[in-house]
């Protein structure tokens, strides 16, 4: 109703105002940051990789609006640095996020 009162345009395919639809379709910071890591990782040195992971792990908690249910800041930073913003080579030599590589290893060990 607020959007209607403010004369916002509505999307013809959905019942949502264009502003809400744009917000729903925009990438989150986390998705954007991981895409950045995936783009940079294969072409930079190991020290630069560590710097990228460190910088993103430092700034990401500050960008989170809601801390309900979040782990302690040091635990969150360590998880982001060690897992979320790290790539590793899989068994075929292709760079993948470390979380995916570890999951594949865990699944293959069960077999």
What is the model's pLDDT at position 53? 97
Q: What is the pTM of this model?
A: 0.71
Per the model's pLDDT, the better-predicted residue between 55 and 72 turns out to be: 55
SS3 of 8-64: the string is: CCECCCCCCEHHHHHHHHCCCHHHHHHHHHHHHHHHCCHHHHHHHHHHHHHHHHHHC
pLDDT tens-digit readout, 26-68: 678 899 999 999 999 999 999 999 999 999 999 998 887 777 8
């Amino acid at each position: 109703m607020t959007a209607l009162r403010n004369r916002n345009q509505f999307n013809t395919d959905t019942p949502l105002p264009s502003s809400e639809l744009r917000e729903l379709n925009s990438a989150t910071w986390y998705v954007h940051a991981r895409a950045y890591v995936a783009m940079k990782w294969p072409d930079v040195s190991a020290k630069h990789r560590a710097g990228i992971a460190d910088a993103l792990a430092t700034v990401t908690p500050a960008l989170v609006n809601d801390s309900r249910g979040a782990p302690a800041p040091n635990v969150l930073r360590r998880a982001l640095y060690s897992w979320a913003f790290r790539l590793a080579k899989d068994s075929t030599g292709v760079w993948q996020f470390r979380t995916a590589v570890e999951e594949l290893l865990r699944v293959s060990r069960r077999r």
